[in-house]
A and B are shown apart, each in its own frame.
Chain A
């Protein structure tokens, strides 16, 4: 086993559960073909809500993916997480036959919203029928750490594990911590993020943040970096990555390596009114430095793409300062899925690894007209083929979270 500073964390398995595509390849195809996962909310009657669009997963039948023992105790977000974990482990070829000890396997996930749908149902019982009717499983089904715990129990992964919360940035923080855990000596860490809050209460909570678009046309509601940007559309789902020590992956004969988690950093914005600039650029610089790369080494940026004009401008300014005006291709394929909260960063990371694999950059959904002042080389309209060796993935969470991950193509 290599020494800590030489250990490399590579990705040996991937899975995505997102609007428009259950499973990695369907998700990737929907990004490349520009299939819009945003539609009118069908989970409940949202006709009296000011915004009625969401990125919904509509082809997931929980009982097809999970044993019945887990159904009464899991929120929809945990069901996605458990299914995606199964798929990612299968993709990595990891199972009881892999010869990995329980304590060599960790789990680090992020969810920012917890079990809204489950809790909404239990609260409804509480106020309409009384406390005796509330499920005992409410005790943990709502909880931020529940996905890490359930995945750990289901797959007998007893190594160092954690749960991180950082709104939309938290999914990248989980990947960063998975990398840290591997560098400290754990052979394999299942990581990623999943969120879902599309029940009446969860959706109302998302709208209360004030940044959700009120445009009714699903083709026009979430347009990151567009002159007509009007806010974002909430989505559900996320991605799971198997992050593994490169030497250990080779030793067990891992079937494939998607790439290396080469660098990670997180920063926090200065207090509002301080006059100091946001810290997104600093996160990118620190992640690059950790990867031992310079901006010139980055072939594509997967942007946070808030879809809110002042946030889009701030991110564009950061990228122009770091890479020079129009200095690097930038994309925000999440325009097709909505913002997945803690699932967003890992889904982008999955897309970045697939972009490195196929040497093609997916486009930014329906975004078409980018203000000249942004000085962005934004990939719009259709995918762009390019020689890609390293990607920078950015995510911002509400109220100051910034995270950046650098992934590089597998070394031959």
Chain B
């Protein structure tokens, strides 16, 4: 099964919730919280739903919190995939 890359995550975020005018998503965003990147909980729910449909990995409700960063999200998704493999 395909791993979720940072680029793949960027594409999903923009498709599901657009991008904040003041944020450069193409930069080094791995350890910046989604909140700081301009994504609220609804934006993350919408993106998580897309990830689940495309990669078959469901995030737990508690995973979407104020501390969530792209790095943590990618680890969760790809870790779950590794477990399933």
Contact = CB atoms under 8 A, between A and B. Distances in A.
Given A136-B45, A137-B46, A69 B20 contact: yes
B21 A67 contact: yes
Contacts of B15: 72
A69 B19 contact: yes
Interface size class of B (residues with CB under 8 A): 10 to 19
A136 B18 contact: no
A135 interface: yes
A146 to B, nearest CB: 13
Interface in A191-247: none
A72 B16 CA distance: 6
Interface string A350-375: 00000000000000000000000000
A133 B42 contact: no
Contact of B18 (A72, A132, A133): A72
A133 B53 contact: yes
Interface in A107-136: 132-133, 135-136
B33 interface: no
Contacts of B53: 132-133
Contacts of B79: none
A327 to B, nearest CB: 54
A132 B52 contact: yes
Given A69-B17, A136-B46, A139-B42, 14 more contacts: A67-B18, A67-B21, A68-B14, A68-B18, A68-B19, A69-B18, A69-B21, A69-B38, A72-B15, A72-B16, A72-B18, A72-B46, A136-B42, A136-B45
Interface string B43-80: 10110010011000000000000000000000000000
A1 interface: no
Interface in A62-77: 67-73
Majority-rule SS of A interface residues: helix
Contacts of B38: 69
28 contacts: A67-B18, A67-B20, A67-B21, A68-B14, A68-B19, A69-B17, A69-B19, A69-B20, A69-B21, A69-B38, A69-B43, A70-B18, A72-B15, A72-B16, A72-B17, A72-B18, A72-B46, A73-B17, A73-B42, A132-B49, A132-B52, A135-B46, A136-B45, A136-B46, A136-B49, A137-B42, A137-B46, A139-B42
B38 to A, nearest CB: 6
Interface of A: 67-73, 132-133, 135-137, 139
Contacts of B45: 136
Nearest to B47: A136
Nearest to A69: B18
Interface string B10-35: 00001111111100000000000000
A73 B38 CA distance: 14
B26 to A, nearest CB: 14
Contacts of A132: 49, 52-53
Contacts of B20: 67, 69
Given A132-B52, A132-B53, A133-B53, A71 B46 contact: no
Contacts of A67: 18, 20-21
A139 B42 CA distance: 10
Nearest to B15: A72
Instruction: Please provide the 8 A-B residue pairs with the shortest distance between their CB atoms, ordered closest to farther.
Output: A68-B18, A69-B18, A136-B46, A136-B45, A67-B21, A136-B42, A71-B18, A68-B19
